[in-house]
Amino acid sequence: VDTQISTFVQQPDGEERWVFRNSTFVHTHDVRALALAAAQGGYLVSGGVSGQLVVAPLRLAAVASQDVGSVPKRNHVRHLSALSPFLQSASIAQGSRLLLCQRDEQLELWYLQRPKDSLGELVMPEAQHVLKVSLDGAKEGRHIASSAIAPDGLHFAASDDGGTRVFSANIEDLEVRRVRGLPAEVAKTPARVLHFCSTRLLAVAPQGGSKLLLVDVERQAISARFAEHSAPVCLLASQGEWLASADVEGNVHIFSLDSLQHRARVPVGRSSMSRPTALCFDADKQRLIVALSTHTLIIFDIEAQALATDVPSLVPIPRKLVPPHARVCGVVVPPGTRDKLLLWGHSFLAKVDLAKASGDASAEAPKAKRRKSGGGGAGTDASEADGAWATYEGFEHIVSLCGLEESQWGSPLLPPAGAGKKRRSSGAGAKRAMVLTMEVSPGAIERSLPQAFERKKFEGAT
């Protein structure tokens, strides 16, 4: 087993022989899985130890031999992110400045300390590792499938194949206790996605079935069951009185958390080529933003129960802005702003001003902005000189992005040169709203993998 993928071609003769044609080397670590797709002339999908998927046209795999990193663009070889938006994730409890990081078989709790005064200037707070928590299934090698933390940080939840667990946390005493007495419908059911709608209300989307459960973690009781979906729910978002959910078939619904009733169905359409990949409510709680796998944003007016009319309701992401195979993992409306969105994936971060956006997908994408690296710069330049869209370079392996409330975090801070990647601030609009990105460093990913396979090269013997 190594990084080599060999192609054999059947000869059109009477013997039906299979003849070696060529080899490709597009992986850095051992290849463990191969799949063939017949669509559009045939594609070869390969993956392995590194977690990265590589998609290449089958006809090219049969005739080209390339070294890692040297595949020309004309070959249309796609290297997909090794990170999963479901298995590698992080969430934040703004009320207690806690970060919950989901990692394979365990959870990690981090505390973001208060900003410190250094030579008369406030500097970005350090992240302090507080606790590690594992479920019972970790002993059997079960990976955590979903997790969430309450806004006040007093409760968090996690799920694996063995079921769903809720914990209470006391960070001052470094104490975590499992909440007993959850209904069996929740405790014994693996959850595809978990989301805290408030400090006590937890939304649970089971892996099997299409129901959506609302659980009161303080009363250990189910407050509501929503049955509007026809397929398992895979995305959840909430703000104020609203809860939005999307299922694997592409249906999106909105529910009222006050009346615990269904509010509206978002007309995203049902297509085999398009699925929701991210949900977000705007700062005024009157719109829902849906990001589709076809790189289109849908803006829905909740009160009118119709597509928005004060801004473009369908906003295509410029084709040159985000790679066509990249997934929009999240959409964030920074607090204190309106009509401005941040879109992020594992390898990109972009901004759009809905008031200036158009419905033309072929519009020329702006040049990327670079992080400033000296003079106490503010990281990314958020200038709007390029119009509706702006991109930011220097971000990679993003697992979460969150808008920060000034009431909880104070005034915006400018990170010093060389600030660590666990915390960053980015301006968004004239009010310089704050956001926090959580990224996995390339070094951490490299350390988690076995040593890369090294192909020996031998010189001709004399």
CA dihedral sign of residues 414, 418, 421, 427: positive
Task: Assess whether pLDDT exceeds 70 at residue 192.
Answer: yes
Confidence of residue 359 (pLDDT cuts 50, 70, 90): low
Task: Assess whether pLDDT exceeds 90 at residue 316.
Answer: yes
Residue 172 falls in which region: left (phi positive, over 0), alpha (psi -120 to 50) or beta: alpha
End-to-end CA distance of the chain: 31
Cα 362 to Cα 318: distance, rounded to the nearest angstrom = 6
Give the residue-averaged pLDDT of 458-462.
Answer: 52
The model's pLDDT over 373-401, given as tens digits with 9 standing for 90+, comes to 333 333 333 333 347 998 888 888 888 99
Residue type, 275: R
Provide the pLDDT for residue 385. 37
Kindly list the distances between the CA atom of residue 270 and the CA atoms of 212, 218, 246, 249, 305, in Å, as whole numbers in the listed order.
20, 38, 12, 7, 18
Provide the pLDDT for residue 379. 36
The model's pLDDT over 7-52, given as tens digits with 9 standing for 90+, comes to 888 877 767 788 887 787 888 888 889 998 877 677 888 888 877 7
Provide the pLDDT for residue 290. 97
Provide the pLDDT for residue 420. 39
Confidence of residue 64 (pLDDT cuts 50, 70, 90): very low
Strands 368-369, 389-392: pairing kind: parallel
**Residue 406 phi, psi dihedral angles, 5° rounding:** -65, -30
Give the residue-averaged pLDDT of 155-173.
Answer: 92
Provide the pLDDT for residue 15. 72
Cα 225 to Cα 318: distance, rounded to the nearest angstrom = 39
